[in-house]
A and B are shown apart, each in its own frame.
Chain A
Amino acid sequence: MKNRLILSLLAGAVLTILPALAQPAPDPALPKFPTPPPATDAATSIIGPNYADAPEYVVNPNVPQGDVREFILYSDDSKIYPGIVRIEGDLANKRDAYGNRLPFPADQLSKPGRYERHVYVYIPKQYVPGTPAPFMVVQDGHSYINRMAPVLDNMIAAHRLPAMIIVAADSGGSDAQGSERGLEYDTLSDRYSNWVEQELLPAVSKNYGVTFTTDPEGRATMGGSSGAICAWTMAWYHPERYHKVLSYSGTFVNQASPQDANTPRGGWEYHETLVPKTAKKPIRIWMEVGERDLHFDDPEKTWHNWPLANNRMAAALKKKGYDYRYVFAMDAHHVDPRVVKQTLPAALEWLWRDYPKS
């Protein structure tokens, strides 16, 4: 591992929030292409620019309060993700004209390095031990667990959501090309989904005596940014495992590293080739992007414009007849907390609308 795990985690969090600032400033003279909002329709809405927190976030002492537990998974104990760190240097510092990192062969950009991965688990009071529970896996767990616990408490008590377990797992650290987080979240493969199945969920079951449903209708995954494309990737490569995806500012852009010849533009390939050319899969997705999201005015050929990528994603999903909702948030930035706090309860309700409530 990096010898300063906590510092590197913090640095990773800052990078996650402010990736544009962490990179060399692109030439301001480059032409700009602000992404226009999509056309609204039954599945697509435009919200903002004024936002208000949803009332479901307010703690209600009169409803049962679920337990929130925490444990740590160590890279030394993982077969699937033994741990990498980026080799900082000339290669890691390279950027395209618009300030985007570039993919490189794994052995040139990364080296083995350990991590300590925090996992937070929300278990509703209504959970009956021994019964297979519906659940949601949440990427970058520490960013969401505190915000989501009261929402779950309130909505489960009101029978608006099933009594589900939330497994909010952090990544293995840092961000983007060459990092452990990038490897886990931005890679187009079933590796992360397999890690969840073979390492994460068994650890939660063992620690807390809970069991998880195998019904894909009762299995959801969500995240923001790379955590969101990760959610989609989990369902895409294993639709028999997950039928529900929730995405904020999904990184459906060219951020996978190392480059894969089958998907040379990484996540951009989902809307460009994979979704259009593949038979419709039984995946339901709620997704959001901000008008001012990352690289919102960069040209298409960078394959790195978040609003454009999400517009394309929605268009591809519509064309194939997917069950989706798309929210374009005016004035909003990357995984904008104002938007998350306004939209998440309704998004969860839409996603789980036909699942049996307790």
Chain B
Amino acid sequence: MRKLAVFFSAAFLATLPALAQALATGASPPKFSAPPPPVTAENSIIGPAYADAPEATADPAAPQGDVREFILYSEDSKIYPGIVRAQEMQRDAHGNYSIPAGTSLSKPGRYERHVYVYIPRQVVPGTPAPFMVVQDGHSYVKRMANIMDNMIAAKRLPPMILVFADSGGSDAQGSERGLEYDTLSDRYANWVEQELLPAVSQRYGVTFTSDPEGRATMGGSSGGVAAFTMAWYHPERYHKVLSYSGTFVNQAWPPDPQTPRGGWEYHATLIPKAAKKPIRIWMEVGEKDNRYDNPEESWHNWPLANNRMAAVFKNKGYDYRYVFALRAGHVDNRAVMQTLPAALEWLWRDYPR
């Protein structure tokens, strides 16, 4: 529960990085607002104003899926035994972090991870179900249950299971959440495969499809880059990614010499230099997203990073959609509630109902 308080204060800081930065530096660096991307077949610019999609309204005529909850404890995890931040970070003018040489940003620490599972009425026990893994689960489970009920009933989505897992807590460099979501490796995907999905199967007697076309992952912010990372390092597991305000910026910790700018490397080097992978992605960013007016060299400007992601997807011929939401902030609830049903429908458009 105290972990929750820490998490909320971290979330607060994440929404007000400019303030945190001004407090840290006392200076106001020059501004470089990221412009909206060109509108193309794949890119669109939306809002304001915003309106909630009608699919979010509960329909008593649609079968209501079950929502269950359980807790995973750090003591029981082989892959994520748990860390907490051990010292305050020093930030540069653009919010990049550093710590004194020879010191560690983290120390071992336990967590209690809540997992919420949506199981539609239409799932037939014993048959491998399509599914979606959702990062920061508690933020999405309530918003998505009605959408799933309504769209599954209308056969606009397959009857899929949603596994909403919280992170192991706190945020950004040195935290358990940062380790899980911001790290460029297959560690999180392996944790999902070896610990999360088996725990869900064991508790609720459901089985998950091994067809990558039936396996999706989504999230906002670091949960968005985590979704892409899962598919990037294991495209044989996931072909569908949905990202809101993805943290495709320099936020990985500890630093990895292979990807020195963390998530920024996806659009700067990794995607351009790698053969196209069979990943379909729907992504969004807000015009006023985190650090929208920081210079490129900060490697920390969210709209610029997402513009770049869209540009490299275009270059490589990926199957993607990119929405640039005017006046929207970081993982802006207005944008999520307007766009999510259509995004899901686009992502799953050719999967059997």
Contacts and interface: CB of A to CB of B under 8 A. Distances in A.
A30 to B, nearest CB: 34
A7 B112 contact: no
Contacts of A3: 64-67
Contacts of A245: none
B169 to A, nearest CB: 12
A69 B67 CA distance: 23
Interface residues of B, number: 16
Given A6-B116, A6-B141, A72 B70 contact: yes
B145 A72 contact: no
B71 interface: yes
B232 to A, nearest CB: 32
Contact of A149 (B2, B64, B69): B2
A72 B69 contact: yes
Contacts of A4: 64, 67, 145
Given A4-B145, A6-B142, A68 B1 contact: yes
B27 interface: no
Interface string A46-86: 00000000000000000001001111100000000000000
A141 to B, nearest CB: 10
Nearest to A207: B73
B22 to A, nearest CB: 26
Nearest to B203: A74
A116 B116 CA distance: 12
Interface in B53-96: 64-71
Interface string A1-27: 101111100000000000000000000
Given A6-B116, A6-B141, A116 B68 contact: yes
Interface residues of A, number: 17
B5 interface: yes
Nearest to B66: A3
Contact of B1 (A1, A6, A72, A120): A120
A7 B69 CA distance: 12
A5 B68 contact: yes
Contacts of A145: 1
Nearest to A71: B71
B144 to A, nearest CB: 12
Nearest to B112: A70
A6 B67 contact: yes
A1 B69 CA distance: 12
Interface in B110-131: 112, 116
Given A4-B145, A149-B1, A149-B2, A70 B71 contact: yes
A93 interface: no
B170 to A, nearest CB: 15
Contacts of B142: 6-7
Contacts of B66: 1, 3
Interface string B132-156: 0000000001100100000000000
Q: Which 6 A-B pairs have the closest CB atoms?
A: A3-B64, A68-B1, A3-B66, A70-B112, A116-B69, A146-B1
19 contacts: A1-B66, A3-B66, A3-B67, A4-B64, A4-B145, A5-B68, A6-B67, A6-B116, A68-B1, A68-B2, A69-B112, A71-B71, A72-B71, A116-B68, A120-B1, A145-B1, A146-B2, A146-B5, A149-B2
